[in-house]
Amino acid sequence: MQLNAETIAAHLNGTIEGDASTVVSAPARIEQGKTGTVCFLANPKYEKYLYTTQASIVLLNRDYNLQSPITPTIIRVDNAYEGIASVLALFESAKLAEKKGREMPSFFSWRAKKGKNCYIGVFAVVSKKARLGNNVKIYPHVYIGDNVKIGDNTIIYSGVKIYHDCVVGNNCIIHSNSVIGADGFGFAPQANGEYKKIPQTGNVVIDDNVEIGACTTIDRATMGSTVVGSGVKLDNLIQIAHNVEIGKNTVIAAQTGIAGSAKIGESCVFAGQAGIIGHLTVGNRVTIASKSGLSNNVADDKAMLGFPAMEAGKYKRSFAVYRNLPELSNEVYRMKKIVEQLTASKDTE
């Protein structure tokens, strides 16, 4: 796909400085820009590359002052970082638009239905009574189970498995090898020491505008639904257990695990490798630091840190003491020696 500066500027409501007919066919990092690419400058750390880049178009903030003239065509925008994201989306949408029709061999049940302009990749399986909206992209080796519903403009990348009865909203992206709707980890201990499986009869409901990273698993509910709210972004290698509910616009980084029936609020941020035990309630706008282990309910607008997690301010004060434990230990030992010597001296009087 090729875009000219005039088209990009119109899409971004930007202002052109230079040749409006300049054409680009790919984005690039500013330090690696070459003819035919578009790049951007948002971080001052990379400012030096602005004057040496070979890119054809550069996005700059409106208030950026050039120190000397540059060769590329400039497009001034309100926010260059957001601008390049929109340009990337333009290139990506062009690639997706090329994906249409059904590749063979693949299986599409005669009892399933799909909307307009869908793509079904080779070796994909769409089972009975599944429903695909318009512009849905099903890449190769995807499995869509019975009664699954997928909304408009959703992309399911290669190797994803969506079990029966699950629901995926509009404008979602699910990356390769994720599993949606596998059984929750439910087993009842028996008198003889064995474990009896508890049937997992619910489903997973994923709302609109959700993105799920590669190799992430979201288990179906024991009863009812495991729910992922609108706008949620899940990184790679995340485990969401049965009956978990995640509020809208929450962001969760890689290797986080959320145990069964936990309730996560809206607009939360969980850093990598956080662990949440089951049946907790986490409020809105809560931040949980990397490698933290949450074992208690958390109110709105809190920042949690540590294992077990505590409020960030308290943790930092505690860590200041912990960091000085060797010195404190030596001081206690020294004071103990003094007490022993004084006691011994008193006993000899």
Catalytic residue at 141? no
Q: What pLDDT is recorded for position 325?
A: 82
| Cis bond upstream, residue 69 (ω within 30) | no
Contact 168, 145 (CB under 8 A): no
Least confident among 94-108, 159-173, 186-200, 253-267: 94-108
pLDDT at 212 over 80: yes
The class (CATH top level) of 101-313 is mainly beta
Q: How confident is the model at residue 329 (pLDDT cuts 50, 70, 90)?
A: confident
Count CB atoms within 10 A of the CB of residue 227. Answer: 22
Mean pLDDT, rounded, of the chain: 94
Give the model confidence (pLDDT) of 142-186 as tens digits. Answer: 999 999 999 999 999 999 999 999 999 999 999 999 999 999 999
Is residue 349 pLDDT above 70, yes or no? no
Residue appearing with tokens 């020294």: 334
3-state secondary structure (DSSP) of residue 304: strand
The two beta strands, 161-162 and 143-144, are parallel
Q: For position 96, what pLDDT does the model report?
A: 75
**Cα–Cα dist 265/283, whole Å:** 5
User: pTM of this prediction?
Assistant: 0.82
CA distances for 175 relative to 27, 127, 155, 254, angstroms: 22, 20, 8, 13
pLDDT tens across 265-304, in order?
999 999 999 999 999 999 999 999 999 999 999 999 999 9
Nearest CA to 269 out of 233, 227, 308, 295 is that of: 233
Residue 348 has pLDDT above 70, yes or no: no
Q: Which of 11, 141, 175, 242 does the annotation list as catalytic?
A: 242
- Mean pLDDT value of segment 42-48: 91
The number of residues making up the chain comes to 349
Higher pLDDT, residue 285 or 322:
285
User: How far is the C-alpha of 163 from the C-alpha of 182, rounded, in Å?
Assistant: 6
Q: Which of 251, 286, 245 is CA-nearest to residue 272?
A: 251
pLDDT at 245: 98
| CATH superfamily, region 3-97 | MurE/MurF, N-terminal domain (3.40.1390.10)
pLDDT tens-digit series, residues 53-101: 999 999 999 999 998 999 999 999 999 999 999 999 888 877 777 788 9
Inter-axis angle of helices 325-347 and 312-323, to 10 degrees?
50
Output the pLDDT for position 324. 79
